[in-house]
Amino acid sequence: MNGWRELIRIENVTKRFGSTVAADHITLSIGEGEFFALLGPSGCGKTTLLRMLAGFETPDSGCIFLDGKDLTAVRPWKRPVNMMFQSYALFPHMNVYDNIAYGLRQEGLPAAEIDRRVRNALELIGLPDLAKRKPGSLSGGQKQRVALARAIVKQPRVLLLDEPLAALDRKLRVEMRLELKRLQSEVGIAFVFVTHDQEEALTMADRAAVMKDGRIMQVGTPEELYTRPANLYVAQFIGEANVIGGRLECIESEWLLRQDTHLFRVSGAEVRRHGLMQGSLAAIVVRPERMFIASASSVAERKDYNGLSARVIEIAYLGSAYNFVVQTDEGRRFFVQVQGAEGSPSYRVGDVVMVGWGVEQGILVPMDEFGNTNPPEGIANKLR
Amino acid sequence: MVSPILLLGPALTWLVIFLVFPLALIFVYSFLQRSPFGQIVFQPSLDNYLRLFNPTVLRVFLNSLRIAFIVTLLALLLGYPTAYFISSQPSRWKNTLLVLVILPFWTSYLIRTYAWIVLLNREGVLSRFLLGLGLIREPISFLYNDTAIVIGLLYGYLPFMVLPLYSSIERLSPELREASFDLGAPPLRTFWHITLPLTLRGIVTGAIFVFVPSLGNFFVPELLGGGQRFMIGNMINNQFLQARNWPYGSAMAFGVMAIVLALLFFQAWVTRRTEQV
């Protein structure tokens, strides 16, 4: 990203709750004006990290910097950071106007200035007529906008959003993604949002950190996370994946991955990306839409493909695509997605077909001998 | 088909016999007169109610209101932090602490009031303690004044304040407090602008739960006031049992009820105002 300038630096932050580690030596940088996602399953520590940025939790060790200033010990009411809560946390005894004005009144601004900024904020969220309404009489989408306005009106350096769309129904959620994106570029504030929904993170975020068990598994743009996952966990969390685990071999300068008795061709570039060697444990990850399916006799054996004979065991029609589940004689299962209607009528459940993928379509990720995919420290915490 | 209204039958019967009927009786009595020997004489008039405004009776009314008000205020000042503390504890402790709050109810209030005599009299624990500290030279009795009555009532009715406060504080989402912090309001201002208004219903409910029985109580002033200090309850008690002027006592009882009803209307008003919460 051009002109990227560091705004927040989280340095080696650890936080424990009893025996659970919510944040395990997390190091992370977030840029000015960036739309950043903390992505992971529930209990991965993403909300704790957000709450540490807001000041509601204090790290057991490590520091948080904003603009180079140590923020770690600064109380929540003194931080130039505002948060939008998952429940919105609108004050039920105040009307919309007073909710939005609340933060400005704490700053002791002149009444005229407060009024101007509150009206601007109401304008920005497109609800100028609801100023006198109480939160109890608003719809979910309206509450969400008011909560957003209340946080933005303070013009914080960073806006924190805790599962901002989780409480909305699906249609509104998709709408609000674009709306949030528009608002963010309009106000130019850095947004850090927490989500368990990978689709949400991919569509909205400039960059995302994928978290698991209090650790960051990878930081990157949505495209990087999808096409160049650092480990199996990220590969499987972001999108669907066919996974083949095995040991790498190099035969006559061609890289192969051996699973049981079968050898799969592997991209040399991928081996080098992770610095893997002969004998390393690794897994090939193939996205379903990168797989092909063809009639059993049509594909000749080629050096730039991995092809297997398999039987169709399930077909699902999705409207814009067909999903096939196929199984080889050895019991390997593959999930293949075919866009449009091409080839769809040709196969039925029980047919023997050829499935496979181009070698360059196979993503390689490292593994350890227990099948764990925790990356070495260097990769996990790699910054830009 | 059994109509659901029939389920109310037993309770309704009970209420009619033991509440509505006696109240109606007293209401009728309050307009009648007494004979020189204490019999009820059927001579309807407003005399009894007019006599409520004689200076002696008014003074007792006002003093009772004052004592009940002080008790309520102190109960609020003690009860709010207590309720707040309990609701901030981990959930496994909350129930234990709440049981501790209502534990005194397992013993009769009357007996517990006798215990206060033991604590407050000249040879009592408090007096000896202060002697031991050298703060006083002679043993002092803390009994037989308004302070003793306030202590006794406060002690008895404090749980009635803590419980509704606890339930309203407990209902308050901690995120609201955090949102206030986040928007720049330090804890004290957050308490004033967010926590207090949102627990107002609990405050009003608790205040009425304490104020109403404090106002009507007669045995605490009897025992701890030692007959020196009078509250409305004592006066009504006297009219019925000593003076044998049931009509006048009935009118006094309805005077107290008028005050209580006014308070309940006030509570309903506050509840309606905070309905949206």
Domain assignment of residue B19, yes or no: no
Distances (CA, A) of A154 to A109, A114, A159, A162: 11, 10, 10, 18
Question: Which residues, in sequence order, are CB contacts of B32 under 8 Å at separation 6+?
Answer: B40, B41, B42, B43, B44, B247
H or E segment at B1? none
Domain assignment of residue B23, yes or no: no
Domain assignment of residue B150, yes or no: yes
Distance CA B160, CA B154 (A): 10
Domain assignment of residue B159, yes or no: yes
Distance CA A87, CA A163 (A): 9
Interface contact A85, partner B, CB < 8 A: yes
Distance CA B72, CA B203 (A): 10
Domain assignment of residue A114, yes or no: yes
Interface contact A93, partner B, CB < 8 A: yes
A101 and A194 share a domain?
Answer: yes
Write the CATH number for B246.
1.10.3720.10
Higher-pLDDT residue of B138, A202: A202
Distance CA A205, CA A203 (A): 6
Q: What pLDDT does B189 receive?
A: 95
A221 and A263 share a domain?
Answer: no
Write the CATH number for A339.
2.40.50.140
Kindly report the nearest CA distance between residue B173 and chain A, in angstroms: 8
Is the sign of the CA dihedral B97, B98, B101, B106 positive or negative?
negative
Higher-pLDDT residue of A2, B186: B186
Residues of chain B with pLDDT > 90: what percent? Answer: 47
Q: What pLDDT does B225 receive?
A: 83
SS3 content of chain A, % helix, strand, coil (to 5): 30, 35, 35
Across the interface, whether the CB atoms of A102 and B193 are under 8 A apart is answered yes
DSSP helix/strand/coil, B92? helix
A28 and A76 share a domain?
Answer: yes
Q: Judge contact between A182 and A218, C-beta under 8 A.
A: no
Across the interface, whether the CB atoms of A106 and B183 are under 8 A apart is answered yes
The total of structural domains in chain A comes to: 2
The total of structural domains in chain B comes to: 1
A287 and A257 share a domain?
Answer: yes
Asked whether residue A254 carries a pLDDT value surpassing 60, the answer given is yes
Domain assignment of residue A362, yes or no: yes
A222 and A249 share a domain?
Answer: no
Domain assignment of residue A49, yes or no: yes
Paired with A354 in beta bridges are A294, A309
Q: What pLDDT does B252 receive?
A: 92
Res. A189 pLDDT band, cuts 50 70 90:
very high
Interface contact A108, partner B, CB < 8 A: no
- Among the candidates A196, A227, A258, a domain finishes at A227
Which residues in chain B have Cβ-Cβ distances shorter than 8 Å to A107? 184
A287 and A327 share a domain?
Answer: yes
**A258 phi-psi bin (left φ>0, alpha ψ -120 to 50, beta other):** beta
Q: What residues 47-76 of chain A have any CB closer than 8 A to a CB of chain B?
A: 54-56, 75-76
- Mean of the pLDDT values across residues A315-343? 83
A218 and A248 share a domain?
Answer: no
Res. A342 pLDDT band, cuts 50 70 90:
low
Query: Looking at chain A, which residue has its C-alpha nearest residue B189?
Result: A106
Q: What pLDDT does B275 receive?
A: 61
Write the CATH number for A189.
3.40.50.300
Domain assignment of residue A235, yes or no: no
Structure confidence by residue, pLDDT tens digits, A114-159: 999 999 999 988 888 999 999 999 998 899 999 999 999 999 999 9
- Mean of the pLDDT values across residues A188-206? 92
Distance CA B17, CA B10 (A): 11
Higher-pLDDT residue of B146, A55: A55
Q: What pLDDT does B2 receive?
A: 67
Distance CA A50, CA A38 (A): 8
Range of the domain at A210: 6-227
Range of the domain at B220: 48-273
Q: Two tokens at A74?
A: 């600064």
Domain assignment of residue B262, yes or no: yes
Res. B141 pLDDT band, cuts 50 70 90:
confident
A209 and A272 share a domain?
Answer: no
A62 CB-side CA count, 13 A: 22
The ipTM estimated for the assembled molecules is: 0.82
Domain assignment of residue B122, yes or no: yes
Residues of chain A with pLDDT > 70: what percent? Answer: 93
Structure confidence by residue, pLDDT tens digits, A99-111: 999 999 999 999 9
A106 and A191 share a domain?
Answer: yes
